Amino acid sequence: METSGQQGNGTWVAVDTKNLKVEGENKGTILVAKTSGRVDGSNAKEFQDALESILGNNATALLLDMEDLSYISSAGLRVILLIARQLQGKSGKFGVCSLSPSISEVFQISGFDKIIPVHPAQADALASLGS
């Protein structure tokens, strides 16, 4: 497993395992975490560690781009909720975007689409989080 922290401007890999990859990217004042693969009980801790490393100590806006995420379990949803609450605690902004139909269905069934802003595309999310 490869992990690294925030690397200033540009894109960096926060975690890269067999089933999960999380890349961080600075988009102005917003940090984007692009996820691919699967998040389940076997790698939820790595997922959480990756998002926390992307956030660092000073981040106040995080967008989770889930375009290439094929599966998320309740353990992964828990991580998303924890990260959203961390940001909320420091008056930050959080959102998710580019959900596949199956991930979108999980968000709807779990009610997460009612408590976490879901955007159809990254551009929409960046505009919303940046305002």
* Domain enclosing residue 30, as ranges: 2-130
pLDDT of 16 above 70: yes
Span 82-122, pLDDT tens digits:
999 999 988 999 999 999 999 999 999 999 999 999 999 99
| Residue 63, strand partner residues | 32, 95
pLDDT of residue 17: 87
Q: Domain count of the chain?
A: 1
- Residues of 96-109 as b/e, b for ≥16 C-beta within 10 angstroms? bbbbeeebbebbee
**CATH number of the domain where residue 14 is located:** 3.30.750.24
Of 60 and 84, which is predicted with more confidence? 84
pTM of the model: 0.89
- Report which secondary-structure segment, H or E, holds 8: none
Q: From residue 45, give the alpha-carbon distance in Å to each of 10, 76, 82, 102, 122.
A: 25, 9, 12, 22, 25
Whole-angstrom distance, CA of residue 120 vs CA of residue 3: 28
pLDDT of residue 28: 86
Read off the pLDDT band of 57 (50, 70, 90).
low
Span 24-44, pLDDT tens digits:
999 988 999 999 999 999 999
| Residue 46, strand partner residues | none
How wide is the angle at C-alpha 22 spanned by C-alphas 18 and 27, nearest 5°? 160
